[in-house]
Amino acid sequence: MALYRAAAAVLSGLERGEGGLKSLVYGSGFPHARQLYALVAETLRYGPVLDALLDGAALLRVEKKLPPPLAKVLVYDLLFGKGLKCGGRWKALARRHRARLQAELARLKVPRYVRVNVLKTCVDDVVEFFKRQGYSFLGKAGSLEELRTLSGKKFILDLHLPELLVFPPQTDFHDNRLYTSGHIILQDKASCLPAFLLSPAAGSHVIDACAAPGNKTSHLAAVLKNKGHIFAFDLDTKRLATMNTMLMRAGVTSCKLAQQDFLSVDPHDPKYSKVKYILLDPSCSGSGMVTRLPLEEAAPSAERLQALAGFQRKVLSHALRFPAVQRLIYSTCSVHREENEDVVHTVLQEPGLAFR
């Protein structure tokens, strides 16, 4: 632990302007000066990344007694160095937050995906807009590696989704006028896949069973070209209000929101007689989303997974009982088989279910 305390002291001295790196290291009295110098130098080199990790993982807000310079040194060695060489409570603390820190690091590496809202604009116009802002357009991606290596002010067209632009990680568009006007939607690629794969024809009737916060709903409207009808259900009043604002900004006119439990919707109600497409994205553990890991790094219990799977089976079974349905997309943000393949397999074995 002496190494990390010495490194934290040098970092503090640098922040206070008490001297340069070399003078502070060799004036520290630490017996292994080269080792100390290397650790501090590398921690400084990773400074912006470490700041982002500590902020995103909320480490200093949770561990209020942990000095920030010491936190930086510990996190550097935990994630980028040769592994923690100390014992005691600081090592236990760092390891307790390891999964969250690793998840935050993964998030920092994820490209920024931008879906062009074709209800208001087109891909070519958005590309030209960003080029005028100083970005370089690289055309359509030919491999995933091209997405992973994006840097600076460069962007590319996704290799699978025709209206999805890809920018380097951490590119911020929240104040960009294309975002505030609804011309672009900040939506991860995984979130874009359900509507893309459901692919309802223009003029179709569609159900979005668990709709809020609405990114997938707005995408459905874009696929439909606002021609047809989307029945969107959710129980949460605040989420629906936020969703309504977002849909208005996106120019969606083909959607009817209902504050209603989808399980209470009558499949044989005449108003749903033309529903051929259903998008079902039910509540799940969120275990596949790196930005939603809890601060306490515990995997969902078997009881929690079974409870979620029970609900998921109910809503999937209910969705398949709409008489005209021809295509259904079931999606979760979970990596657990219990919430995915097992749910689908069980429901398709139910007696009296004609959907195949």
Of 338, 343, 204, 352, which Cα lies nearest the Cα of 280?
343
Distance separating alpha carbons of residues 117 and 222, to the nearest angstrom: 7
Distance separating alpha carbons of residues 41 and 242, to the nearest angstrom: 46
The token pair at 143 is 């491999």
Q: Is 169 annotated as a binding residue?
A: no
At position 105, the amino acid (one-letter code) is: L
96: helix, coil or strand? helix
Q: Is 212 annotated as a binding residue?
A: yes
Distance separating alpha carbons of residues 336 and 287, to the nearest angstrom: 8
DSSP letter at 275 equals E
Q: Is 210 annotated as a binding residue?
A: yes
At position 346, the amino acid (one-letter code) is: T
Q: Is 215 annotated as a binding residue?
A: yes
DSSP letter at 65 equals T
Q: Is 211 annotated as a binding residue?
A: yes
Q: Is 188 annotated as a binding residue?
A: no
Are β-strands 154-157 and 229-234 bridged in parallel, bridged antiparallel, or unpaired?
Answer: unpaired
Cis bond leading into 213, ω under 30°?
Answer: yes
Q: Which residues contact 60 (CB under 8 A, 6 or more apart)?
A: 54, 66, 68, 71
**Separation of first and last alpha carbons in the chain:** 61
**Annotated catalytic residue within 86, 192, 284, 333:** 333
Rg (CA), the chain: 25
Are β-strands 229-234 and 327-330 bridged in parallel, bridged antiparallel, or unpaired?
Answer: unpaired
Distance separating alpha carbons of residues 107 and 77, to the nearest angstrom: 19
H or E segment to which residue 108 belongs: helix 98-109
Of 246, 272, 276, which Cα lies nearest the Cα of 119?
246
Of 283, 320, 289, 281, which Cα lies nearest the Cα of 305?
283
333 is catalytic: yes
Length of the chain: 356
- List residues forming the annotated binding site: 210-216, 234, 261, 281
- List residues forming the annotated binding site for S-adenosyl-L-methionine: 210-216, 234, 261, 281
Residues with a known catalytic role: 333
